[in-house]
Amino acid sequence: MKWDNAGSLTHSSVSLKPLEQSALRASAAGVESIAPRSTAETVISAVQNPLNLAVSLTTGCFLSLNPWAPQNFVGSTLGALALAGLVRLGVNKVFPSSDSSEKVDGRRFWMRLNVANHAIYAVLFLIRSFCYTNVGGTDRPFFYESYFLGWLCGPSFFLPKLLGWPNGQYNQPMVLEWMKAINSPKSTAYPAMITKCIGDPNFMYFYQIAEGIFHLMIVFGGLKFFMKKNWPPKEGGRELRLFRWGLWLELLIMDITYVTAFSCLPLLSVPGHLGLTTIMMLIHHVNVLPDVMCGFYEWRAMKRAR
């Protein structure tokens, strides 16, 4: 992706609209199209809107463009501490203290890890459903994920600095505009069938609703088994059936398609973000691993129950 002599942005597999070009120009010049919100602004917005308040309490300054910036660091730290507390509580539930001689149950481990993993994406699904209510455009599928990705890249002294990103920071507006471009109907970044689907905002709107339902099926179906007294699950139980149906649908309808699409990303590059597309692919594939392992253990459990 580069600027040609006429001042247009070109890429071997992506054609950008003038509006997207101007947004990327601003980002490339270090001028963000959306100013980062300060902690005070985030708090005021949260108080004015109960939904924003709930989101802010659970994610700190999740929706700030640069959660690691000094003006957002307090909110980010509080959010991180809250999340750390929830994670610690979850770990204590998943791995209660016991004799060191007790063998780890692989099925139990992967089921609980999978439920926790899908709970994060179920929250993202609910945020998108309540905060981005219309069909939108090719930015909707990745809009909130573009903020989340900035969190996962860590503070500026880590990956942004090591990889030489401009100003040592993750540039959310640029990344989102780039994703809009490669998700457009004219993009050749993906196989033709995937491009046809992902380039249709109406299709992606309902596709992500289905994905969110699968997340919720896995979470609500598996929560019961966090309690030791409910383990192992009883074959034929309502919660286990709900969990398995969500898992099979996620694997067959979502994971195969997304693995194919994300595997194409390292062949491209985000301007000024060396290695980011590879990081995106690795993050996604790591998130699919619990589905695969959980599917294996559930298939084996079904086979033994026959």
Task: Give the domain ranges of the chain.
Answer: 104-305
SS3 per-residue string spanning 144-171: HHHHHHHHHCCCCCCHHHHCCCHHHCCC
On whether the CB atoms of residues 170 and 149 are closer than 8 A, the answer is yes
Element (H, E) at 9: strand 9-10
pLDDT (0 to 100) of residue 117:
93
The model's pTM is: 0.69
Splitting the chain (306 residues) into consecutive groups of 10 residues, what average pLDDT does each group show? 40 44 46 40 44 44 46 48 54 49 78 94 91 86 89 82 88 92 91 92 94 96 89 90 96 95 93 92 94 95 88
pLDDT (0 to 100) of residue 75:
47
Q: How far is it, in rounded angstroms, from Cα 138 to Cα 200?
A: 7
On whether the CB atoms of residues 113 and 94 are closer than 8 A, the answer is yes
The Cβ of residue 126 has, within 10 Å, a number of other Cβ atoms equal to 16
The Cβ of residue 272 has, within 10 Å, a number of other Cβ atoms equal to 21
Element (H, E) at 240: helix 238-249
Per DSSP bridges, beta strands 9-10 and 2-3 are: antiparallel
